[in-house]
Amino acid sequence: MPSISDKGKRMPASPIRKLVPYAEQASASGMKIYHLNIGQPDIPTPVEMLDAVHNIDFKVLEYSHSAGNESYRRKLATYYRHNGIEVEHTDLIVTTGGSEAITFGMMSCLDADDEIIIPEPFYANYNGFATAGNINVVPITASIESGFALPPISEFEKLITPKTKAIMICNPNNPTGYLYSLIELEALRDLVVKHDLFLFADEVYREFCYDGQKHTSILSIDGMEQNAIVIDSISKRYSACGARIGALVTRNKEVIATAMKFAQARLSPPTIEQIAAEAAVDVPDSYFEEVLERYTKRRDVLIEGLNNIPGVYCPNPGGAFYAVAKLPIDDSDVFCQWMLEEFNYDGKTVMMAPATGFYATHGLGKQEVRIAYVLKREDLIDALHVLEKALEVYPGRVEVEQEVLEAK
């Protein structure tokens, strides 16, 4: 029997999806599970998008342009300009989800054994895309005590080697919800320009900024036009995760030309979903205002509720719809599985993502979980109650350090 590749063996399993079999078993036994583990929003997809799909009137479902339909690219450029990002439709390639934009970006800019520095905890699938390209992820640890702010630039400097080709951030951050400030982004700009590195920013949660804070795109910051590459997606913006429509956006023409070769090899992104995505650009700002209001309430309920549980700490995230909380537990992988396999309160339990999968440094995240607040308010309140009861009886309880709890 022929053997699979070493790359295939190295490829990490998704930490977000690996608990799914236990959840399926719990579900099958009649348990009610609150899903705080995945970023699948429950907000309705805008009717403009669904109507566009209902109204398709072509007879042949043809390939689109490899860079995406020109009409959509032109429309998407207006979306960016509306958001203060001055780009033309030739500065972007429509991709099959943000995932493909990351792949195209990494493949175009990094070779095998090259290094990309990423603040951890980070979106776990960055590991997968890097592994696919034999690229080494070099983590730089952000701490829960600082609310997961950008680590000091001096710490980045220490990690830069001749193999370093890029830095990658996610802003607002998945999994921490941290929203990077203009000062932090300008510091990164100075760093990547000084060392001639690419700066990737995954900005798929751009619209999800709370407490009146504004998002700054790395494409809006002067002086790094050739370094800045934005990863984007309509998945979270319009609650359209299943569309698999994203974009790679950069003013660096060489990167666009190179990414186009990867785009041509896979022919085109999905045609019908591009039609939906084009209609989405006309969704009025009031849609986001409503969504924001709803998420802000959910966040407030969640963060307050978490910090009210004895021994738990969770910093208040400025954006996205995730938070990383520190729990009085020995091992988040064991705990999250125990929640599904052994625990229930009144026939209910909670599914969360162990934070270990979001750290590249082995051993970190053992007391942390990622919680997505994509459920309605009442469910969040009940889920918090179930979590509190679980922590009271979990056999592997290990207290969180006092100095962390004092940040409450």
Query: For 180, phi and psi rounded to 5 degrees?
Result: -70, 140
Q: How far is the CB of 226 from a copy of itself (least distance, A)?
A: 4
How far apart CA 202 and CA 306 sit, in angstroms, is 27
Task: Establish if 50 lies at the interface with a copy of itself (CB under 8 A).
Answer: yes
Q: Verify binding: residue 121, a copy of itself, rule CB under 8 A.
A: no
Q: What are the C-alpha distances in Å from 64 to residues 95, 243, 246? A: 11, 15, 15
Dihedral angle computed from the Cα positions of residues 103, 107, 113 and 117, in that order, rounded to the nearest 10 degrees: -60
115 binds a copy of itself (CB under 8 A): no
Is 392 a binder of a copy of itself (CB under 8 A)? Answer: no
Residues 6+ apart with CB under 8 A from 400: 311, 312, 313, 326, 327, 328, 367
- Give the neighbor-by-neighbor strand order of the sheet with 228-233: 92-95, 246-250, 228-233, 198-202, 164-170, 115-120, 136-141
Per-residue string for binding with a copy of itself, 268-287, x by CB under 8 A? xxxxxx--x-----------
Tell me which of 72, 262, 335, 394 binds a copy of itself, using CB under 8 A: 262
Residue 282 or 346: the one with the smaller Cβ distance to a copy of itself is 282
* Residue whose pair of structure tokens reads 């699979």 in the numeric block: 4
Q: Is 229 helix (H, G, I), strand (E, B) or coil?
A: strand
Please tell me whether residue 45 binds a copy of itself under the rule CB under 8 A: yes
Q: Least distance from C-beta 259 to a copy of itself, angstroms?
A: 8
How many residues are present in the chain? 408
Q: Which of residues 64-83 bind a copy of itself (CB under 8 A)?
A: 64, 66
Residue closest to 204 by CA, chosen among 180, 238, 176: 238
Using rule CB under 8 A, residue 163 touches a copy of itself: no
Count of residues that interact with a copy of itself, criterion CB under 8 A: 82
Does 311 sit near a copy of itself (CB under 8 A)?
Answer: no
Triad 295, 301, 306: Cα angle to 5°: 125
Considering only 71, 83, 90, 125, the residue that binds a copy of itself (CB under 8 A) is 125
Query: Of 123, 187, 199, 116, whose CA–CA distance to 151 is shortest?
Result: 187
Q: How far is the CB of 24 from a copy of itself (least distance, A)?
A: 11
State which of positions 185-244 bind a copy of itself (CB under 8 A): 192, 196-198, 226-227, 239-244
**By CB under 8 A, residue 134 contacts a copy of itself:** yes
13 belongs to the binding site for a copy of itself (CB under 8 A): yes
Rounded least distance, CB 108 to a copy of itself, Å: 4
**Quick one: which segment of 13-21, 139-147, 308-316, 358-366 binds a copy of itself (CB under 8 A)?**
13-21
